[in-house]
């Protein structure tokens, strides 16, 4: 949902079985030469940052926590699409996008996102899953899946905060699997 903007559900939501045809575009088709160069520079900057922070060689990148998290983050996604989202969010500034991306990798490792996704619902109280706080309600106009997390169904103290946070993170991670790849965002 878009916070602070009028949201017309009938206009935005499409059937979950029928993502928009625009989702089939190749993600790099609409990039200028400068944007393609920024994407290449971003890739190189990410690898160099991980190597320098962990004081390792390229051959052992997967042995570092940042390197592992990088590959786990891309497991079910198109890596270029993920990086393009970061670049666009930072107005194609590679350094700003790099800082944001590295912080995300570190947060994912510290929070245990990879482990949470691997364990799935076992990490969350069964009763909390039955509350219906989260649901997938289709796609928006450009093909992004919509996950709805209902705060009105949250009762303070009913479940541990940690379990509720895990439910939200798990829902958003699972939602990423509904993307029709490649998706240009």
The answer to whether residue 4 sits within a structural domain is no
Flag whether the pTM goes above 0.75: no
Counting other chains too, the contacts that 94-101 makes at CB distance below 8 Å and 24 or more residues apart are 94/38, 94/41, 94/42, 94/45, 95/45, 97/42, 98/42, 98/45, 98/46, 98/49, 101/42, 101/46
The answer to whether residue 43 sits within a structural domain is yes
Domain count of the fold of the chain: 1
CA-based R_g, the chain, Å: 18
According to DSSP, the residues that pair with 90 across neighbouring strands are: none
At 11, list the tokens: 């206009």
The answer to whether residue 1 sits within a structural domain is no
The answer to whether residue 112 sits within a structural domain is yes
Contact 19, 139 (CB under 8 A): yes
pLDDT in tens, 59-80: 999 889 999 999 988 887 789 9
pLDDT in tens, 31-62: 999 999 999 999 999 999 999 999 999 999 98
pLDDT reported for residue 25: 45
**What φ, ψ does residue 136 adopt, rounded to 5°?**
-105, 125
The answer to whether residue 100 sits within a structural domain is yes
pLDDT reported for residue 70: 92
Q: What is the CATH number of the domain that holds 31?
A: 3.40.525.10
**Mean pLDDT, rounded, for 112-135:** 86
The answer to whether residue 127 sits within a structural domain is yes
The answer to whether residue 150 sits within a structural domain is yes
pLDDT reported for residue 104: 94
Structural domain boundaries enclosing 73: 12-178
The answer to whether residue 184 sits within a structural domain is no
Q: Which residues of 73-103 are buried (b: 16+ CB within 10 A; e: fewer)?
A: beeeebebbbbbbbbeebebebeebbeebbe
| Alpha carbon 43 to chain centroid, angstroms | 17
Confidence check: pLDDT of 135 > 90 = no
């Amino acid at each position: 949902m878009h916070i602070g903007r009028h949201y017309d559900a009938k206009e935005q939501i499409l059937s979950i079985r029928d993502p928009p045809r625009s989702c089939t575009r190749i993600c790099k088709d609409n990039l200028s030469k400068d944007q393609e160069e920024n994407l290449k520079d971003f890739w190189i900057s990410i690898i160099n940052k991980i190597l320098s922070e962990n004081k390792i060689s390229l051959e052992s990148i997967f042995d570092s926590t940042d390197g592992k998290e990088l590959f786990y983050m891309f497991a079910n996604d198109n890596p270029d699409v993920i990086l393009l989202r970061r670049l666009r969010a930072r107005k194609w500034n590679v350094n700003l996008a790099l800082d944001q991306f590295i912080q995300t990798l570190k947060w994912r490792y510290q929070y245990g996102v990879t482990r949470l996704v691997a364990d799935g619902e076992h990490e969350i109280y069964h009763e909390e899953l039955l509350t219906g706080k989260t649901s997938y309600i289709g796609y928006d106009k450009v093909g992004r899946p919509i996950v709805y997390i209902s705060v009105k169904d949250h009762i303070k103290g009913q479940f541990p905060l940690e379990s509720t946070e895990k439910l939200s993170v798990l829902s958003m991670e699972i939602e990423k699997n509904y993307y029709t790849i490649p998706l240009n965002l």
